[in-house]
């Protein structure tokens, strides 16, 4: 009877290891499914942000074109050539301001995209089960040796 105790302990350890490995496989499959879902959500969020950025850029370009056209028309109505002297400086300043606003918007867009990214250090749980199984096997083996 005393000889069956180590065999029963070894069988119990094997069953425990098998259970841990199966649990780990299920966790790994679940983690992969969650990672795919998160990746799809991130892709959709990035696409939505890009579409919003493009719409804002088109609206900004339309406002700039309208502002430049009205400024040039007012300058021309006042007898000034909009392409010379202070009038040219005025229109160039408006264009510089618009370019700066576009650069700010581009930086905000890049920040939005980078903020939504998941860390490369996030674990997927695939190795945890094997480490847990090794720990269980080690403790079972220690119990057999004691």
Nearest to 103 by CA among 68, 53, 140: 53
Q: What are phi and psi of 78, to 5 degrees?
A: -85, 0
- In angstroms, what CA-CA distances link 61 with 54, 75, 119? 10, 21, 35
Q: Which of 7-11, 23-27, 128-132, 142-146 has the highest mean pLDDT?
A: 23-27
The pTM score is 0.48
As for how many domains the chain has, the answer is: 1
Q: What is the pLDDT of residues 77-113, one digit of tens each?
A: 888 777 788 778 888 888 888 888 888 888 887 777 7
Residue that is written with structure tokens 């069988």 in the block: 11
Q: Distance between CA 79 and CA 61 in Å, rounded?
A: 27
């Amino acid at each position: 009877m005393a000889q069956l105790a180590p065999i029963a302990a070894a069988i119990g350890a094997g069953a425990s290891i098998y259970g841990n490995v199966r649990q780990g496989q299920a966790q790994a499959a679940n983690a992969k499914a969650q990672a795919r879902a998160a990746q799809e959500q991130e892709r959709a969020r990035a696409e939505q942000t890009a579409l919003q950025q493009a719409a804002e850029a088109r609206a900004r370009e339309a406002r700039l074109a309208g502002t430049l056209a009205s400024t040039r028309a007012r300058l021309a109505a006042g007898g000034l050539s909009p392409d010379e002297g202070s009038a040219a400086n005025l229109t160039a300043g408006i264009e510089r301001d618009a370019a700066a606003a576009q650069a700010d918007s581009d930086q905000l867009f890049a920040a939005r995209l980078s903020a939504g990214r998941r860390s490369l250090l996030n674990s997927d749980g695939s190795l945890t089960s094997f480490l847990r199984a090794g720990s269980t096997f080690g403790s079972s083996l220690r119990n057999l040796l004691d």
